[in-house]
């Protein structure tokens, strides 16, 4: 049985990707940095009991989601009964490198995609954070996903 | 990654290490230092310095071993190793002949540990043979085991395994390479030969 790597290597391998995810969700600056710090501090606390050979990237994404939601809630005092549990974006989850392409989208597209696909909010809940209405947000997300897909295909054809 | 993003990541990592230290969440702190025998990695637990590694050993591999044998919560943090870094600088600048540092010997056990604990009895600028060390530790036939104890010394330079040579005066072996061993021996010899330099 091989043990998990030294935590320093976890930070080195995944630190940038987690910051990209936090920045995509919260915008650049102190909020994203706080989410990053809270994510890695929580991960460090739990790391000794993480099963050897666990998928560390997926584990970090889950922690980062919760930390980002904590910060969103603190910034927007909106009553919310439950934290959404499902994450659905097969093209993005588990492939944090793809989040890099999120930076190329408009801020609204980036945030709606983050809120809906990474954090699991239904479209009906997102106007409370971002304004607009569910239909316009859904359209922004669809346009963003389309852009991501075409970028992804281009990258694949090049490689 | 842009320079700005790299700087942001450095700041975040440093802040993480400080908060982790404040909460007592670090098993092993480490830092790198430059030296005449190449870059060295120093690692410490709360008990003291636990490892000195040469670049030839592959620092990431050493971090992996520390994670396995000491604890997975390994983070880059310079502060706990400032005293060691300063004393090594003084040693390489000929202004220090012995180290005053807490050492954590948990990576060694048994006879290897016994030999390593006896190594500081060979004074600065002096040498002993593997055979003499075997006799000194009460096991005159264990010459080969002394060689292994020196070769697996987790705290080279601080625990002076470089002062152990073959009976014919040839270098024997060294974790950091024979060139490094020669540099250390020359450094100590020069200082003693010309104490006013």
Instruction: Report chain B residues whose CB lies below 8 A from the CB of A3.
Output: 67-68, 72
At a CB cut-off of 8 Å and minimum separation 6, what does B15 contact? A37
**What confidence category does residue A91 fall into, taking pLDDT thresholds of 50, 70 and 90?**
very low
**pTM of the predicted protein model:** 0.81
Average pLDDT value for residue range A57-84: 75
Average pLDDT value for residue range A124-147: 88
Tokens describing residue B73: 């919560």
Q: Highest mean pLDDT range out of A120-124, A150-154, B88-92?
A: B88-92
B197 in reach of chain A (CB within 8 A): no
Q: Give me the residues paired with residue B28 across strands.
A: B74
B13 in reach of chain A (CB within 8 A): yes
* Neighbouring C-beta atoms of residue A14, cutoff 10 Å: 21
Tokens 């609204």 belong to residue? A108
**What confidence category does residue A98 fall into, taking pLDDT thresholds of 50, 70 and 90?**
low
Distance CA A141, CA A147 (A): 10
Alpha-carbon distances of B83 from B73, B102, B120, B155, B173, rounded to whole Å: 22, 10, 19, 15, 29
Average pLDDT value for residue range B37-62: 97
**What confidence category does residue B168 fall into, taking pLDDT thresholds of 50, 70 and 90?**
confident
Alpha-carbon distances of A81 from A84, A125, A130, B77, rounded to whole Å: 9, 12, 19, 41
Among the partner-chain residues B9, B15, B63, the one whose CB lies closest to the CB of A8 is: B63
pLDDT the model gives residue A39: 97
B73 in reach of chain A (CB within 8 A): yes
Going by C-alpha positions, the residue among A64, A77, A74 that lies closest to residue A35 is A64
Q: What percent of chain A has pLDDT over 90?
A: 29
Instruction: Report chain A residues whose CB lies below 8 A from the CB of B17.
Output: none
pLDDT the model gives residue A159: 59
Instruction: Given the residues B62, B74, B159, B161, select the one marked as catalytic.
Output: B161
**Which residues from A are below 8 Å from B when comparing CB atoms?**
3-9, 11, 15-16, 19, 33, 36-37, 40-41, 44-45, 47-48
């Amino acid at each position: 049985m091989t043990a998990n790597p030294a935590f320093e290597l976890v930070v080195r391998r995944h630190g940038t990707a987690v910051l990209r995810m936090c920045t995509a969700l919260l915008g650049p600056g102190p909020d994203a940095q706080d989410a990053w710090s809270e994510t890695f501090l929580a991960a460090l606390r739990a790391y000794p009991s993480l099963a050897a050979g666990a998928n560390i990237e997926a584990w970090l994404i889950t922690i980062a989601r919760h930390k980002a939601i904590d910060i969103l809630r603190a910034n927007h005092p909106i009553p919310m009964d439950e934290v959404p549990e499902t994450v659905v974006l097969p093209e993005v989850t588990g492939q944090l490198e793809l989040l890099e392409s999120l930076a190329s989208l408009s801020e609204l597209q980036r945030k709606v995609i983050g809120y809906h696909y990474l954090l699991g909010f239904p479209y009906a809940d997102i106007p409370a954070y971002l304004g607009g209405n569910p239909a316009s947000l859904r359209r922004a997300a669809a346009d963003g996903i389309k852009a991501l897909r075409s970028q992804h295909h281009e990258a694949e054809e090049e490689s | 990654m842009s320079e700005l993003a790299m700087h942001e990541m450095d700041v975040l990592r440093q802040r993480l290490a400080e908060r982790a230290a404040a909460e007592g969440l670090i098993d092993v702190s480490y830092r790198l230092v430059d030296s005449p025998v190449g870059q060295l990695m120093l690692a410490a637990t709360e008990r003291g310095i636990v490892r000195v590694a040469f670049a030839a050993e592959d620092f990431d591999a050493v971090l992996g071993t520390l994670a396995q044998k000491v604890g997975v919560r390994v983070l880059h943090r310079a502060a706990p190793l400032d005293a060691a870094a300063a004393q090594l600088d003084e040693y390489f600048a000929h202004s220090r002949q012995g180290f005053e540092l807490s050492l954590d010997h948990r990576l060694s056990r048994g006879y290897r540990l016994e030999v390593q604990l006896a190594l500081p009895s060979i004074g600065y600028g002096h040498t002993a043979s593997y055979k003499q060390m075997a006799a000194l530790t009460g096991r005159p036939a264990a010459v080969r085991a002394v060689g292994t104890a020196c070769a697996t010394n987790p705290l080279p330079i601080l625990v002076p395994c470089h002062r152990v040579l073959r009976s014919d005066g040839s270098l024997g072996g060294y974790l950091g390479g024979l060139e490094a061993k020669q540099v250390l021996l020359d450094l100590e010899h020069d200082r003693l030969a010309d104490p006013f330099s």
